[in-house]
Amino acid sequence: MSIKYYLEEKFLSLWVSGEVSGLSRPASGHVYFSLKDSRSQIKAVIWRSNAEKLNLDFLEDGLEVMGLGNIDVYGQRGVYQLNFRKLQPVGQGALQLAFRKLHAKLDAEGLFDPSHKKPLPKFPKRVNSAEQIKDAIYACADFADRPDVIVVTRGGGSIEDLWSFNDERVCRAIFNSPIPVISGVGHEIDVTLSDLVADMRALTPSEAAERLVPDRREIIEMLEAAKRRMKLSLEGRLMHARQHLELLANRPVIAQPLATIRAFERDLDETGQRVRRLIGQKVDASKNEMKTLTAQLEMMNPLSVLARGYSLTTDENGQLVVDSKQVAIGDKIASRLGQGSLVSRIEKIQ
């Protein structure tokens, strides 16, 4: 009990990283796995209440993750585990995982299939883009989610290559745009009319991209200042919270309100696995019994009787005829034989 109190009090919140192993997602909605590195491993759990809030589609064995949680002691079995509240892939691996998942999705839909690729014209007659550029600039103003800025840009080339950006329609579209426009056409030595009309001119497309975002150094300094303020605030709140928690430490019903429930949930998961095994055994036994009954029914199958020369006769409504009083002269009847069937009309009744 002292160990449980010490660990859960000492490690209220910590970040842990490692490789996922033994991932299990039972029907209860909880997620169980182990987190390991080259030297050690520890069991981990994400309770259903947290799992439902997190997007855990990425989680799989072998993935390196980092998570925020606390130490949880399961006294009945002497098990120590991490109770995660947040979990995410680590670093570049997260981007690669997202890339692989999206690649697999698009590939399954056939977006990469060469049969869908359109052939380029051998002798194109029209490649001028002025009309499209103009339409695109005007369209941006009509978007429900209007962009903050428009970048009109392309790489370097001859004066003919850049002529679309000297087109009057494009220049007027830039001038009339309610959204700020950055023009970055060609290289430094290239100057187009679009550059002169735009709200800001960039010497190259790369510079246009740089002008879109704030200076990295300013952002870092702003974040560092905010970090210092947050740290001071959190330290004060944490000290107050620790003092308050110390007053509640001797009240188990407040300190560990879900401990008993979670113990039952663990046992329920294990019981569920045993029940599934028993059901599987029962299903196998039922299948064997069904095979025996099927063989017995086959011996009593009416079709087997028909194969010996008997037949079944039904009237026009499909009712089985067992008495000549059920039909009249001129009625049609159907006779089911061992092989095939016959349709007859009654001419005489005896």
The closest of 24, 97, 27, 93 to 61, measured between CA atoms, is 24
Half-sphere exposure of 2 (CA within 13 A, CB side): 0
DSSP3 helix / strand / coil % (the chain, rounded to 5)? 45, 20, 35
Q: What is the pLDDT of residue 265?
A: 80
**Helices 130-142 and 168-176: angle between axes, nearest 10 degrees:** 10
pLDDT in tens, 169-205: 888 888 988 888 888 888 878 888 888 888 888 888 8
* Domains of the chain, each with CATH number or no CATH: 2-107 (2.40.50.140), 130-212 (no CATH), 306-345 (no CATH)
Which tokens go with 309?
Answer: 């020369």
Q: Are 184 and 201 in contact (CB under 8 A)?
A: yes
Q: What is the pLDDT of residue 33?
A: 94
Q: What is the pLDDT of residue 256?
A: 67
pLDDT averages per 10-residue partition of the chain, 350 residues: 65 85 91 90 91 85 88 74 88 59 76 70 58 86 84 81 84 88 84 86 84 75 88 87 76 65 80 87 87 78 68 86 86 84 88
Give the position of tokens 């009654």.
Answer: 346
* DSSP state letters, 125-177: S----HHHHHHHHHHHHH-SS--S-EEEEE----TTTTGGGG-HHHHHHHHH-
Give the position of tokens 């259903």.
Answer: 48
Q: What is the pLDDT of residue 303?
A: 67
The closest of 200, 202, 222 to 210, measured between CA atoms, is 202
The closest of 2, 12, 32 to 72, measured between CA atoms, is 12
Amino acid identity of 49?
A: S
Amino acid identity of 113?
A: D
pLDDT in tens, 109-160: 887 677 876 665 555 454 477 788 888 888 888 888 888 888 888 888 777 7
The closest of 198, 156, 196 to 173, measured between CA atoms, is 198
